[in-house]
Structure 1
Amino acid sequence: MNFAVIEDSRSQAEVLKALLKSEGHQVEVFSEGLACIEAMKTRSFDFFVVDWTLPDIGGDEVLKHIREKCGWDVPVVFCTARTEEESAADILRLGADDFIPKPIRYMEFMARVQGLLRRRKSARPGPLRIGGIEMDLEGRRVTLAGVEVDLTQREFDLAVVLLRNIGRVLPREELLSSVWVRDNEVDTRTVDTHASRLRKKLGLAGESGLMLTSVYGQGYRLDTVQQG
C-alpha cells in the first residue's frame, strides 16, 4: 500500500513512516497540505494520514481534495490534539474514516490502520455490468462493448449512481448531493451537462442497451432497452 503522511512535525512524521514501512508499506511524507495536493496530480495513494492542524491549509481542505480526487474508498485517518467530542464528530462528519488523538499511541495507531485496511479489502467492490457497460469500481475504469471510455471523476461517479438505480427516477437535487458532495457552488444545470456527456460517451440513447431519459420537472431515469 502507498501511504501519504501529511504531518508538519518532522520527528512525528518519521516515526509514523518507520511504523508503516515496518509493515511493508510505501510511505511519502509531506510537511504541508498543498504539497500533498500537488503530488496527487501525478501520483496515487492508497491511504492518507493527515494532521488536522497544518502550517498552510486546514486538514479539512486536504480532506476535500482527497475525496474529490480519490473518491470515498480511500481511507483517511486524522491525527489531532483536538480530542473533545465535538471536534471528533466534526472530523468524522467531514468524511474522515477515523481519528487518532495526540500524543499518538503507536500500537493503537497501527491497529486502527490495519482495521481500516481489512475493512477496505473485504468491501472491495466487484465490477458493475449492465447492458454493454462494465465499470471497474476499484480501478475507476469503464468500458463500452469492451472498449475503454475516458470519463472524468464526476462523470464516473454519476454513471455509478445511475447504474445502481435502474428504472428509478432520480431527482436532480439527489444526484447533485450524491456526486457533488462538498461543492456548494454547483447547481442542477451541472447535472444536466454531465448527463448529456454520459449519454454520448456511454451510448445511453439505446446503443449500449440502456436509455437515459430526462423526466420533466423531476430528474433522470436510466432504463434497460432491447437492442435491435
Structure 2
Amino acid sequence: MRIALLEDEHEQAQHIQAILAEKGHDCDSFATGQSFLGAVLHRSYDLIILDWQIPDMTGIDVLKNVRSQLNWSIPAVFLTQRDSEVDIVCALDAGADDYLSKPARAAELIARIHALARRSNPDSDKEVLVYGPFEVNTRQRVILLHGELLTLTDKDFDLTLFLFQNQGRLLTREMLLERVWGLARDINTRTVDTHMSRLRRRLGVNPENGFRIKTIYQRGYRLEAIRANETTETNEDRAANA
C-alpha cells in the first residue's frame, strides 16, 4: 500500500516508516498539516496515518479537510500520545477509522492497517466485479456491458478498473498518471485527458448505464453513480460523450 504519514518528530517518522517498509508498504512522511494536505489531495494514497499535535494545525483539522475536500473515505488511523476517552471519541467523530497510542508497536500497527485495507476494499480478491450493467473480469482483463464484450486496450482496462474501484473519489491527473501509467507525478501531459475522452465513448459511460465520468475543472475526474431517477444527461455529459 501507499501510505501518507503526518508526524512532525523526525525519529518517530523514521521508526514508523521502517515498520511499514519491512512489510512492503511505501510511506511518505510529512511534518506539517499543510504539506500533508498538499500531497494527499493531489497524489494517490491507500491509507493515511495522523499525529494529533503538529506545528501548524491539529490532526483533527487535517482529517476534516481530507474528508470534506476528497469526498472519499480513505482509511485514516490516528497514532498519537493523546489516549483519553474524550480524545478517541473526538477523533472517531471527525472521521478516523482507528486510533492507536504511541509508541507504535510494530505488530499491532501492521495488523490494524491490514484490517482497514480489507474493510475498505472487500472486493480486492474477487475475480469478477459487477458495477451495475458493467462486469469486470480481473483475471481475463475484459469488461462486459449488458453482456457484450467491450473493445478496450490494456491501458483502457487499467484505467476503467481504477475508476470503478475509486468511484465517488476525485482523481487528479497526477494520481492517474502515478497509479495507471506509473509515471512521475510532475510530468505535464495530456495523456490522461485523451484516454478519458476515448474511454467515455468506448465504455458507454452515461446516465442510461448508471454512471458518468465528471470532469472537475483544473483538478481531474470523478466517476459517479447515477440514481435511477437521474436519467437526463446534463450539458456537460453530452459534451463529454460527443
Q: TM-score range by the shorter chain?
A: 0.5 to 0.7
CA distance in 2, matches of 1:45, 1:103: 24
CA distance in 2, matches of 1:114, 1:41: 22
**Equivalent in the alignment of 2:116:** 116
RCO greater where, 1 or 2, for CA within 8 Å and sep 6 or more? Answer: 2
CA distance in 2, matches of 1:105, 1:126: 38
Q: CA deviation at 1:103?
A: 2.7
Aligned residues: 173
Contact 2:49 2:79 in 1 (8 A): yes
Q: Cα distance 1:97–1:123, how it changes in 2: closer, same or farther (>3 A)?
A: farther
**Equivalent in the alignment of 1:26:** 26
**Equivalent in the alignment of 1:199:** 234
Match of 1:166 among 219, 228, 239: 228
Matched, 1:151 2:215: yes
CA distance in 2, matches of 1:27, 1:21: 7
Q: CA deviation at 1:25?
A: 1.1
**Equivalent in the alignment of 1:59:** 59
Contact 1:144 1:202 in 2 (8 A): no
Secondary structure of 1:110's match?
A: helix
Secondary structure of 2:82's match?
A: coil
Contact 1:82 1:101 in 2 (8 A): yes
Matched, 1:127 2:131: yes
Matched, 1:2 2:37: no
CA distance in 2, matches of 1:32, 1:43: 16
**Equivalent in the alignment of 1:172:** none
Contact 2:41 2:66 in 1 (8 A): no
**Equivalent in the alignment of 1:224:** none
Q: CA deviation at 1:129?
A: 4.3
Letter in 1 for 2:47: F
Letter in 1 for 2:122: S
CA distance in 1, matches of 2:130, 2:68: 22
Letter in 2 for 1:200: N
CA RMSD of aligned residues (A): 3.6
Q: Cα distance 1:121–1:11, how it changes in 2: closer, same or farther (>3 A)?
A: same
Q: Deviations over 1:73-129 (max 9, x none)?
A: 421101122212222111111111111112332221111111111222315675344
Q: CA deviation at 1:15?
A: 0.8
Q: CA deviation at 1:150?
A: 4.2
Unaligned runs of 5+ in 1: 169-195, 208-228
CA distance in 1, matches of 2:130, 2:53: 37
Q: Cα distance 1:70–1:22, how it changes in 2: closer, same or farther (>3 A)?
A: farther
CA distance in 1, matches of 2:103, 2:40: 28
Q: Cα distance 1:17–1:41, how it changes in 2: closer, same or farther (>3 A)?
A: same
Identity %: 27
**Equivalent in the alignment of 1:84:** 84
Q: Cα distance 1:19–1:97, how it changes in 2: closer, same or farther (>3 A)?
A: same
**Equivalent in the alignment of 2:37:** 37
Q: Cα distance 1:40–1:146, how it changes in 2: closer, same or farther (>3 A)?
A: same
Letter in 2 for 1:146: R
**Equivalent in the alignment of 2:105:** 105
